[in-house]
Amino acid sequence: MPYTRITLTHFLLQEQRRLGGSGAFTSLMNDILTACKMVSHEVNRGALVGNHGVAGTTNVQDEEQKPLDVLANDIFLHMNALGGNYAAMASEELEDVHAVKGSADGKYLLLFDPLDGSSNIDVNISVGSIFSILRLPEGADPKSANAFLQPGVQQICAGYALYGSSTMLVLTTGNGVNGFTLDRDVGMFFLTHPNMTIPADTQEFAINASRARFWEAPVKRYVDECQAGKEGPRGKDFNMRWVASMVAEVHRILVRGGIFMYPADSENMKKGGKLRLMYEANPMSFIVEQAGGGATTGRQRLMEVPPTNLHQRVPVILGSKNEVERLEAYHRDA
Ligand code: AHM
Ligand code: MG
């Protein structure tokens, strides 16, 4: 490999110089990188160190926790408290806000899903971590969930780590999307995917088709038309993928386009949807929009949904812009 690549740390320093920042942001990002490297290490060691199977506990959403859910959450909480930049954190695995002790000067809030897609751990399929950074509003109490209840448009940074055949970190600070690959021997992320963009058109869709009987009419229409292929109204064949790891699906869309749907259906709407707004939908929407794609509930831009609860669920449709707009139009027509 020619030695011309830049590391994520240098990339952040360049951004800091460009924006004239104080260095706090670079420092807090470095804590996230370290956490992701540690989680990656644990995911890789897998069954060798007892990281498979179930933990015997459930989280706030009443979901069975895996040992790696618990471990990844502990790693994120510990590593991100050290820099003193966060006033508080919130996680998929914790019911309440986690205030950071001794960081009276912390100006930021961190939301994360420490290990998304964890039903895939035991079968050795890609999982990931998702994070979103918000500013602590002036005068807000960081110990209260209210400080976190900001719409997605107020995120200052969002990203994910994908623990796949290689470990990658993909990031936006509102100035495009860049992807970095972990060199395990060096222990550093290197910029390998600069300025990631999502093509506006696609012939690939992702949805859990086992839920077809619950779908609403606009989603059913869209999927039926894709499946009709060349002979149908779309006049082209579509391919389908479903990994059941949102991080892997979003990454595929960033690399080669596509659309991902976990839409409202008659069953999941009893809880508001399946995926979580604050630490799944919002950060992924920020990344997808920054890469030129779209992200909607079907009826509203996702990043404008007013949050009312840390663990709120929401319908999610995101990816190639023309397909997202088509689904929004089908929802309007219904
Ligand atoms: P998790 O946070 O409990 O892992 O759940 C979120 C995951 C997403 O990564 C994925 O898109 C979805 O759940 C898969 O759901 P399903 O099992 O219904 O296919
Ligand atoms: Mg999740």
Tell me the mean pLDDT in the region 190-200. Answer: 98
Is any ligand 1 atom within 6 A of the Cβ of residue 44?
no
Query: What is the reported pTM?
Result: 0.96
- Residues above pLDDT 90, as percent of the chain: 82
Is any ligand 1 atom within 6 A of the Cβ of residue 245?
yes
More confident residue, 209 or 83: 209
pLDDT tens per residue, range 34-48: 999 999 999 999 988
What pLDDT is stored for residue 101 in this prediction?
78
- Please give the mean pLDDT across all residues of the chain: 94
Candidate from 274, 279, 316 with most ligand 1 atoms within 8 A of CB, to mutate: 274
Pair 283, 160: CB distance under 8 Å = yes
What confidence category does residue 1 fall into, taking pLDDT thresholds of 50, 70 and 90? Answer: low
User: ipTM score of the complex?
Assistant: 0.96
The number of the ligand 1 atom at minimal distance from the alpha carbon of 245 is 9
Is any ligand 1 atom within 6 A of the Cβ of residue 113?
yes
Candidate from 208, 211, 268, 314 with most ligand 1 atoms within 8 A of CB, to mutate: 208
Per-residue pLDDT at 80 exceeds 70: yes
Per-residue pLDDT at 228 exceeds 70: yes
Q: How far is Cα 262 from Cα 199, in angstroms, rounded to an integer?
A: 20
More confident residue, 106 or 306: 306
What confidence category does residue 52 fall into, taking pLDDT thresholds of 50, 70 and 90? Answer: confident
pLDDT tens per residue, range 149-179: 999 999 999 999 999 999 999 999 999 999 9
In sequence order, which residues have a C-beta less than 8 Å from that of residue 326 and are 6 or more positions away?
222
68 in a labelled binding site? no
Q: What are the φ/ψ torsions at residue 192 (nearest 5 degrees)?
A: -120, -20
118 in a labelled binding site? yes
- Residues above pLDDT 70, as percent of the chain: 99
Q: What is the DSSP string of 93-108?
A: T-SS-EEPTT-TT--E
What pLDDT is stored for residue 133 in this prediction?
96
Pair 238, 227: CB distance under 8 Å = yes
Pair 191, 11: CB distance under 8 Å = yes
Report CA-CA distances (Å) from 40 to 54, 83, 261: 19, 21, 27
Q: How far is Cα 32 from Cα 161, in angstroms, rounded to an integer?
A: 10
Per-residue pLDDT at 15 exceeds 90: no
Q: How far is Cα 180 from Cα 159, in angstroms, rounded to an integer?
A: 11
Is any ligand 1 atom within 6 A of the Cβ of residue 118?
yes
What pLDDT is stored for residue 266 in this prediction?
97
**What share of residues in the chain are helix, strand, coil (percent, to 5)?**
40, 25, 40
Is any ligand 1 atom within 6 A of the Cβ of residue 265?
no
What confidence category does residue 293 fall into, taking pLDDT thresholds of 50, 70 and 90? Answer: very high
pLDDT tens per residue, range 114-136: 999 989 999 999 999 999 999 99
More confident residue, 4 or 211: 211
What pLDDT is stored for residue 187 in this prediction?
95
Q: How far is Cα 28 from Cα 131, in angstroms, rounded to an integer?
A: 12
Tell me the mean pLDDT in the region 271-295. Answer: 98
What pLDDT is stored for residue 105 in this prediction?
73
Dihedral sign from CA coordinates of 132, 176, 247, 312: positive
Q: How far is Cα 139 from Cα 137, in angstroms, rounded to an integer?
A: 6
